[in-house]
Amino acid sequence: MEQTDYMKKIEEYGGDILVSEGMLSEKQFVQHGTTTTYDHSVAVTEMCLRLAKKFHSKADERTLIRGALLHDYFLYDWHKPHGHLHAFRHSKKALENAARDFELSPVERNMILSHMFPLGRFPRYRESALLCIADKICSLRETFHRKKPAPAQTETSEK
Ligand SMILES: [Fe+2]
Ligand SMILES: [Fe+2]
């Protein structure tokens, strides 16, 4: 499946989340490197769908998409006042915000709460396990694949 097909599916099942005020506010927060929390959440959702396909998982696509889109719905800049406690606390805050703004199923709740496993809750459903893996893959990529700086001009290059 192409990336555009995954995006179509994400829009189909999570369109209301993507255009919500809370989710759009994630565009101003940097998650890792140069990636915003919004872009990270969409990338993790796409990775969940890819992994589900690869592992022939019977995960429910709608649940997988909605839980993944909301997994980092903590809605603050974690680099500033929250510091080192962010890793331990943000899944709880994300669930609190997501439950306030959207209708959540028990599986979606567990997905959000357990995505930092082994920190925090145990992933009890296949959707939760997929999210946990997808989040770690994307986080590592975003942390280490920063854009390379433009090459410095050398004195001989313009002759
Ligand atoms: Fe997270
Ligand atoms: Fe994440």
Percent of the chain past pLDDT 70, that is, above it, reads 89
Q: Please give, one letter per residue, the 3-state secondary structure of 73-104.
A: CCCCCCCCCCHHHHHHHHHHHHHHHHHHHCCC
Instruction: State how far the Cα of 16 lies from the Cα of 64, in Å rounded to an integer.
Output: 15
- Contacts (Cβ under 8 Å, ≥6 apart) of 146: 33, 34
How many Å lie between the centroid of ligand 2 and the Cα of residue 1? 23
How many Å lie between the centroid of ligand 2 and the Cα of residue 155? 44
Rounded mean pLDDT, 26-36: 92
> Kindly report the CA angle at 14 between 136 and 124, in degrees rounded to 5?
45
* Position 147 pLDDT exceeds 80: no
Confidence grade of residue 120 (pLDDT, cut at 50, 70, 90):
confident
Domains contained in the chain, CATH given: 3-144 (1.10.3210.10)
Q: pLDDT tens digits, residue range 103-113? A: 999 999 999 99
pTM surpassing 0.85?
A: yes
**Lookup: tokens for 97:** 């915000």
Confidence grade of residue 156 (pLDDT, cut at 50, 70, 90):
very low
Report which of residues 33 and 82 the model is more confident about.
33
Q: Which ligand is nearest to the CA of 69?
A: 2
Q: Which ligand is nearest to the CA of 136?
A: 2
CB 120 within 8 A of CB 114: yes
